[in-house]
Structure 1
Amino acid sequence: MTGARPEEPMNKLRVIQWTTGKVGKLSLRGVLDDPRLELVGVYAYSADKAGTDAGALCGRPDTGLLATSDIDALVALDADTVFYNPFMADLDHVVRLLDSGLDVISTNLFLNVGGIQGATREALAAACERGNSSLYITGINPGWINTMVTAMTAVCRDIQRVSISESADVSVYESAETWQALGFSLAEATPEVIEMAKLWLSTFRDSVQRMAVALDYELDDLEFFIEHQTASEDVDLGWLSLRKDTIAALRGGWNGKVHGKAVVQTNVAWYLTEKLNGNWEFDDDHYHVVIEGEPEVHTRIRFVPPESWGNHEWDTMTAMPAVSAALDVAAAPAGILTLKDVGLPCAPAGTWLTQRRSAESRVPAADPIR
């Protein structure tokens, strides 16, 4: 519920986790780990998850709180915030949550209901007004990097263009259907494949639009671009086989233009193997940011996961920007929020440190060896 930021640690934000899929279960872990938040409800999309303890749904010890599919019961909890992480958005659900006064922080971009524009935006904005509530979308990917890059422009006295380049070995995402839809393993990229890739990469279009709003650009055009490269030999990934000369990598993205000139750009380089025809090279850093201006800014970001992470643990970096933004969203005005409205959310690192030290001090010392 939109209002003042809690001033004391005891004034925890009461939150609901909405779904516990690939991203949702990692969001749920983040909620349980954040001392500023109190989990009061979990929405179960699947009937088989209803009645299951929240801890069991995210690989943690039991919490005593059971998931439910009863939306009435969840709305009645008098919570403050919902972390909304479904694969497909349900506009009626979100309107109802906002109407009830709940802030909604979403990793979902509402693309299946037209995106945050037109009639969808009007319905969400009206619900925010009726409920005096806020909707903030952090996005699936690239999400977090948008906030960082727009903040980095503050050191510049002039800017010509802002670009974000993502490079990733996507073979860690074991979903043959996903990559085949984008043309991987096919002999060529048909018009239908390119249209599907354009849809999948619309998350990066959203990235351009959100940065443009924060940087006060009024875009005239959003230009999509894409190219594919083929494998130089047969490659067996275990879950997908790529024959020689079939598609094994793509480069694509969006140019946000003003008066015909690209001023904001996001692009990706995704590959299932580096054994490619041609001379494509990939960056070991996950993000390469270039701000062309005075001064020019170059930044590289590489994420280094712990050895304990499985492939889908990478979704932590989708879930956590939403969890970390909860108090900033609570302090922001009602409505559909922009990057400027929310600012720079961060993790409660100092509180975590204090908790660890407190836990260590409670561990009894070992008996001396006699």
Structure 2
Amino acid sequence: MIPTVVWGTGNVGRAAIRAVQAHPALKLTSVVVRNPDKVGRDAGELGGLDGALGVTATDDIAAVLAAAPRAVVYAASGDLRPDDALADVLRAIRAGAVVVTPALYALYDQRSAPPELRDPVRAAIADGGGSLFVSGVDPGWANDVLPLLISGLGSTVDAIRCQEIFDYATYDQEDSVRYLVGMGQPMDYEPPMLAPGVPTMVWGGQLRLMARALGTELDEISETLDRCPLDKTVATTTMGEFQADTQGAVRFEVQGIVAGQPRIVIEHITRIHASCAPHWPTPPDNGAGAHRVIIEGRPRIEVTVEATDEGENRSAGGNATAVGRLVGAIDWLAEAEPGLYDALDVPLRPAVGRLAGPRRSTRRPR
């Protein structure tokens, strides 16, 4: 089995603990935390499992990496600490680990990443023999492998639209919701995540990756933004109240332009309460969220995916599927040559050995 570390125990890390524990080719050996209150607690508790796993959380990163783990799920956020996240990832790669993470946006499409980011990663791979695969937490599969797979079902493709439709009311990351995205802030507040150029920095790599897979080139990437205020004060279960007349919903697009038209689009429609911006697309049955892919062409194809996890934290399903994609890649990466990989390199495979009931074999297809 592949000794695997989960680094971080927030929204992504909790799901990662569960995914590693469930994977027949992986063995959870360490959990790294920053919060001193979590040090010494069992991984099963931190991951929301019913029983203890016998692995206690630690903040001793040097000791964890000195044990030469074969894989690291880097689940710490890179939103507000991109340089620190990169330094952590490089450290794990130099220790010889296969690293999977959603934290380094610019490496979604590693071929278009700036040299100042890509070159240190390649140097760490050469030094330590590790590997890196980055896929989005929003989740990545909804902006790369799923739309590309579905596009192959049509005769002609005029445009591809990837939508995330999301209710933040139960999302367990208040700083990101209130300050990074701006929910509950005055309408003249400028959320860092929505500043001009930032959406392209985050999601532009996925547009370029899809364009590369489709055999086309983007003329440019453009952005659109729309924000909507709350018409009444609303209360959430995890973050308290959001006042009327403050930002309650955001809709933006990152558009890949081909021949003057937006042909590949990643769109986010995000609310803090279902009552805000009801004229915008909504999840099926007023759920917490969904990911939708629309292929405009002949035939027109629309696929909507809903995922749920963690009970009342209705937004956790998207995180869990993003983690499933990353954790499910570890054994493939462990057998591959050391390198820097993207979503077109790493196959999406069946959940061999994870279906309930008798198992004939846990050998995984390549």
Structure 1 length-normalised TM: 0.79
CA contact (8 A) 1:105 1:322 kept: yes
Query: Structure 1 residues 25, 117: CA separation in 2 closer, same or farther (over 3 Å shift)?
Result: same
CA contact (8 A) 1:163 1:266 kept: yes
Q: 2:104 aligns to what SS in structure 1?
A: coil
Query: Structure 1 residues 313, 255: CA separation in 2 closer, same or farther (over 3 Å shift)?
Result: closer
Q: In the TM superposition, what are the counterparts of 1:72-83 in structure 2 within 5 Å?
A: 72-83=62-73
Matching residue of 1:218? 217
Q: Which region of structure 1 is more displaced relative to structure 2, 247-256 or 328-337?
A: 328-337
Query: Structure 1 residues 153, 235: CA separation in 2 closer, same or farther (over 3 Å shift)?
Result: same
Listed as ranges, the gaps of 5+ residues in structure 1 are 1-11, 356-370
User: CA offsets, 1:43-70, max 9 Å, x none?
Assistant: 2333443444333332443333333333
CA contact (8 A) 1:142 1:203 kept: no
Matching residue of 2:81? none
Asked if residue 38 in structure 1 is aligned to residue 27 in structure 2, the reply is yes
Matching residue of 2:343? 339
Q: In the TM superposition, what are the counterparts of 1:125-164 in structure 2 within 5 Å?
A: 125-145=122-142, 146-164=144-162
Tell me how far 1:110 sits from its aligned partner. 5.2
Counterpart AA for 1:231: L
Q: 2:277, 2:153 → 1: CA distance?
A: 41
Tell me how far 1:227 sits from its aligned partner. 0.3
2:304 to 300, 307, 313: 300
Structure 2 length-normalised TM: 0.80
Tell me how far 1:129 sits from its aligned partner. 3.1
Query: Structure 1 residues 48, 120: CA separation in 2 closer, same or farther (over 3 Å shift)?
Result: same
CA contact (8 A) 2:73 2:99 kept: yes
Q: 2:54 aligns to what SS in structure 1?
A: coil
Indicate the percent of aligned positions where both proteins have the same amino acid: 23
Tell me how far 1:255 sits from its aligned partner. 0.4
Q: 2:159 aligns to what SS in structure 1?
A: strand
Q: 1:349, 1:77 → 2: CA distance?
A: 27
Compute the RMSD of aligned alpha carbons. 3.1
Listed as ranges, the gaps of 5+ residues in structure 2 are 79-83, 360-366
Q: 2:37, 2:243 → 1: CA distance?
A: 39
CA contact (8 A) 2:269 2:280 kept: no
Q: 1:310 aligns to what SS in structure 2?
A: coil
1:99 to 86, 91, 94: 94
User: CA offsets, 1:230-269, max 9 Å, x none?
Assistant: 2333434464444444332111120012343322111011
Alignment length (residue pairs): 341
Asked if residue 282 in structure 1 is aligned to residue 282 in structure 2, the reply is yes
Tell me how far 1:84 sits from its aligned partner. 0.8
Matching residue of 1:258? 258
User: CA offsets, 1:21-77, max 9 Å, x none?
Assistant: 221122012111222211222223334434443333324433333333333432333
Asked if residue 310 in structure 1 is aligned to residue 299 in structure 2, the reply is no
CA contact (8 A) 2:132 2:341 kept: yes
Query: Structure 1 residues 157, 133: CA separation in 2 closer, same or farther (over 3 Å shift)?
Result: farther
